[in-house]
Amino acid sequence: MSVDKETVKRVARLARIAVTDEEAASLQGELNTILGFVEQLNEVDVTGIEPMIAVIAMQPRMREDAVNDGGKAADIVANAPVREGNFFVVPKVVE
């Protein structure tokens, strides 16, 4: 499979990364190189093989369903590029 320039732009949109026309053209080549490289996986017979879920098989640990952290609003917004009090500030999203 290979991607065209429009697909690169669509994927960039999904990934929320702005790309110029020029960047899309060079990314198209790079992405196709990588997709060409991974194509060899089609040689492998994976009939009846379950996809790997966890690399080390183990029982998930249970924990008590209790609040054990919190009340740190100031810490949470401490690194925000724009904030007001204990709120993150974003461009207007609702008219």
Partner 1 sequence: MSGITDLTIAEIRDGLGRKQFSAVELAKGYLANMEKARALNAYVAETPEKALAMAAESDKRIAAGTARALEGVPLGIKDLFCTEGVHSQAASHILDGFKPVYESTVTANLWRDGAVMLGKLNMDEFAMGSSNETSYYGPVTNPWRSRNSNAPLVPGGSSGGSAAAVAARLCAGATATDTGGSIRQPAAFTGTVGIKPTYGRCSRWGIVAFASSLDQAGPIARDVRDAAILLKSMASVDPKDTTSVDVPVPDYEAALGQGVKGLRIGLPKEYRLDGMPAEIEKLWEQGKEWLKDAGAELVDISLPHTKYALPAYYIVAPAEASSNLARYDGVRYGLRVPGDDVIAMYENTRAAGFGKEVRRRILIGTYVLSAGYYDAYYIRAQKVRALIKRDFDLAFEAGIDAILTPATPSAAFGLAAMATASPIEMYLNDIFTVTVNMAGLPGIAVPAGLTGDGLPLGLQLIGRPFDEAMLFRAGEVIEQAAGRFPVSEKWWA
Per-residue mark of binding to partner 1, 3-42 (x: CB under 8 A): x---xx--xxxxxxxxx-------x--xx-xxx-xxxxxx
What number of other Cβ atoms are within 10 A of residue 8's Cβ? 21
Residues 6+ apart with CB under 8 A from 43: none
Interface with partner 1: number of residues (CB under 8 A): 52
Q: Smallest distance, Å, CB 91 to partner 1? A: 5
Helix axes 5-14, 21-38, angle to 10 degrees: 90
66 binds partner 1 (CB under 8 A): no
| Cα angle: 38, vertex 40, 45; to 5 degrees | 120
Helices (H), 1-51: 5-14, 21-38
Name which position in 46, 67, 71, 85 contacts partner 1 (CB under 8 A): 46
User: Under the rule (CB under 8 A), what is the footprint of partner 1?
Assistant: 1, 3, 7-8, 11-19, 27, 30-31, 33-35, 37-44, 46, 49-56, 58, 60-61, 63, 72, 75, 78-82, 88, 90-93
